[in-house]
Structure 1
Amino acid sequence: MVEMLPSVLSVSVVASLQPGQVLERTLQLPLGATLADAVRASALLAPELPLQQWPTCGIWGKVMAPAQPLRDGDRVELYRPLTVDPKVARRERFARQGARAAGLFARPKAPL
């Protein structure tokens, strides 16, 4: 039997442009489509935004170039820049909670 290859790719494009807001689009793209094609087709970014000003993009959690070809079932993700260094945020959270409430020094919870 001869297997028929699909003539289109089904991909999803996901973006969280603001905290607590997730936008997702499922697209049907022609074979040979790239990451940039998926982002443009999703209309999650302003169409006139030049490629150099796009947020970082990736596929399944790995940063990729806009020219990366897509495969069927890929999840294209748009990453917004970090506003706070994660190490600094952890230190601040630890300072707020205190040594007794976090990490190795936390008190065990009472059994129910």
Structure 2
Amino acid sequence: MSLYKKKPVVIEARQFVGDNANLYSIYQWIEQNTAGSFEPLAVIEGKVPCPKSGVSIDPRDGRMMIATLEGFHHVNVGDYIIRGIKGEFYPCKPDIFEATYELFQ
């Protein structure tokens, strides 16, 4: 078995702190850099496939949803939203984020 080390990369990230201004700012950031907003209920109910990218709000509980190649992911308060090296967006739990990334100046 071989051992591997993660390559150092610089990513953009923002933490969702739960207030409306923060939600709006992150939503706009994702919307402007992806395929945009999508209809959440049709995706949740399986009537249409999840888009490859985009953002929406789950009408059942008000949580932000991010569309990824693996499907949609909900964003919870405290999660970091990462813009990856290929421009993709996804949420990351705070403990994983803090163990994986450090502030780059």
TM-score range, shorter chain: under 0.3
Higher radius of gyration, 1 or 2:
1
Greater percentage in strand: 1
TM-score (norm 1): 0.25
